[in-house]
Structure 1
């Protein structure tokens, strides 16, 4: 059991064969995501059942999502100096971390989009470390999105914090394909992770994005002190929100942050979580995101065979990822085709 999962084992568990048989009937055969209690049972499966669990999650992904893998790159338009106190994030201006505030210019955004497209990626996400965008940031995004659309064949996504209805409408009118705003953790655990805004505020932005017709990307960061019960709670909350994409991040402890001394999620717990989220969200894009390198190491391919159907290639916002070539080689070795731009529209 993950050292960060503090809820303790269930007092009475159904045997693994029954749990897996129920998941097969509900999800693989019926196409229905597992409910919260069933997700928790999956998260509590013993290591001896992990191979069978991952195989089932892979079957579910192949049946309800297909074989293609979506590739995405991300870039930070505005780095550091964020007024929020997300305890895992080195971009918060409230912590003594080495990240300092900086802005990227529009030509650099276009160059990054070109480099991302050259990997075969279909999605390029512009990210800003803010509570929500002010007019300066919206102006920069407006100019950047237009320049990328004129120069590169790629879908443009944004992650700019919490939005007003007017900002949601403007981003949709710009042609932003997908908007990212993570719930991060379960509602019951949120105040242990963030205190400067509420879980409900995040949920409200997500609902506005969906209503405006943009695709919604909404995910999680695991290993921030949540219990297994709270991981199951989060999976159920995401299922209720019905996002198009769920990025799964694993805590990469950052010096100077309140979670800087937390241990990484254990590899088997990470693999169980990947499979459990796939079984809760059978038709959703489930993306490998930050922290997978230090959490899984040489076991990354097992996650790809356990329900993942999308990856972020290259570096993240303030931490290094694997070289894009390494991820593309992994996909080739696994005979996993990369989704084309045409098939995402």
Structure 2
């Protein structure tokens, strides 16, 4: 195993060349006794190729619940008997949420909607929201509105959307076990539209949904092939009423190994702590992850689940002497 870490050090840290799929798989097999050394190496890679700054983002759900898709992890699907019900935010509420996000020091504010893809009503409301936010607060605006048409991607870019999130969720080989109402390939097509329209590509997924270690490594390689600007890494938080409600929580050591492996597969990518880290890792794990390859966080609550208080994450970054990424350096 020492030979593996020595090889990784030379390849990734010294040359900046991300791990191939078979190498990610080997890293995921490292024993717990090697975990600390792995995390130290992943942190060195992050510092070498990304720098010390941490990007902070807040998210808000413009349209919650009632989604027609059957993503098995998601309590917003209208196909499952989950307690989430459909609701909309108005533009003033969006602006207020953006202002509160900016107060934390965040540079990114992401508008999210639980839909297969945006209809004209949603596009109109997003346009109004973007204009109002830009008038009220200095913050980058990202969107996550499902699958796009070429016209919709062009319009979002024209409105000044800085980054678009559309997760592949899991490895291509495992995707049919997670979603039945659309394909992995359809998601990939939207991501190409995002890049074609010169918005930053934000694409990650959820680990701990029952995928094998082979598939977890496959997913890392597929993300690396996409070359996203940002990868949000979620850990399954099993939601009542969904098909994955009874999935066990991922072990914290497995989660940290995954963080490090994904950093080593994508040495220059923004790797963001997202949903589920509170349950899977807790406070100590959050600290270890930030010292093991993570260089971005979502602060506050998620779409239908509670997160860590924003102040707790900002204080943690201060304790670790990790500077917040400034707005002007993220434009």
Shorter-chain TM-score category?
A: over 0.9
Distance between the aligned counterparts of 2:205 and 2:242, measured in 1? 18
Q: Please report the RMSD computed on the Cα atoms of aligned residues, expressed in angstroms.
A: 0.4
Residue of structure 1 equivalent to 2:104: 119
In the alignment of these two chains, the number of paired residues is 330
Are positions 1:249 and 2:247 aligned together? no
Are positions 1:59 and 2:57 aligned together? no
SS in 2 for 1:272: helix
What is the deviation of 1:211?
Answer: 1.3
Aligned partner of 1:180 among 151, 158, 165: 165
Aligned partner of 1:302 among 284, 288, 304: 288
Aligned partner of 1:336 among 295, 304, 322: 322
Distance between the aligned counterparts of 1:210 and 1:128, measured in 2? 20
Please, which runs of 5 or more residues in structure 2 have no aligned partner? none
What is the deviation of 1:142?
Answer: 0.4
Aligned partner of 1:84 among 58, 65, 69: 69
1:181-220 equivalences under 5 Å are 181-220=166-205
What is the deviation of 1:299?
Answer: 1.6
What is the deviation of 1:220?
Answer: 1.3
Distance between the aligned counterparts of 1:295 and 1:33, measured in 2? 26
Residue of structure 2 equivalent to 1:6: none
What is the deviation of 1:87?
Answer: 0.2
After superposition, the C-alpha distances for 1:188-240 in whole angstroms (9 at most, x for unaligned) are 00000000000000000001101110000000100111000001000000000
Distance between the aligned counterparts of 1:273 and 1:71, measured in 2? 21
After superposition, the C-alpha distances for 1:250-270 in whole angstroms (9 at most, x for unaligned) are 000000000001111100000
Distance between the aligned counterparts of 1:53 and 1:293, measured in 2? 22
What is the deviation of 1:300?
Answer: 1.1
After superposition, the C-alpha distances for 1:1-51 in whole angstroms (9 at most, x for unaligned) are xxxxxxxxxxxxxxx111111111110001011000000000000000000
Distance between the aligned counterparts of 1:253 and 1:330, measured in 2? 26
After superposition, the C-alpha distances for 1:90-128 in whole angstroms (9 at most, x for unaligned) are 000000000000000000000000000000000000000
TM-score by length of 1: 0.95
TM-score by length of 2: 0.99
Are positions 1:230 and 2:201 aligned together? no
Distance between the aligned counterparts of 1:135 and 1:39, measured in 2? 42
After superposition, the C-alpha distances for 1:285-329 in whole angstroms (9 at most, x for unaligned) are 000000000000132100000000000000000000010000001
Distance between the aligned counterparts of 2:188 and 2:207, measured in 1? 18
Distance between the aligned counterparts of 2:180 and 2:324, measured in 1? 39
Residue of structure 2 equivalent to 1:20: 5
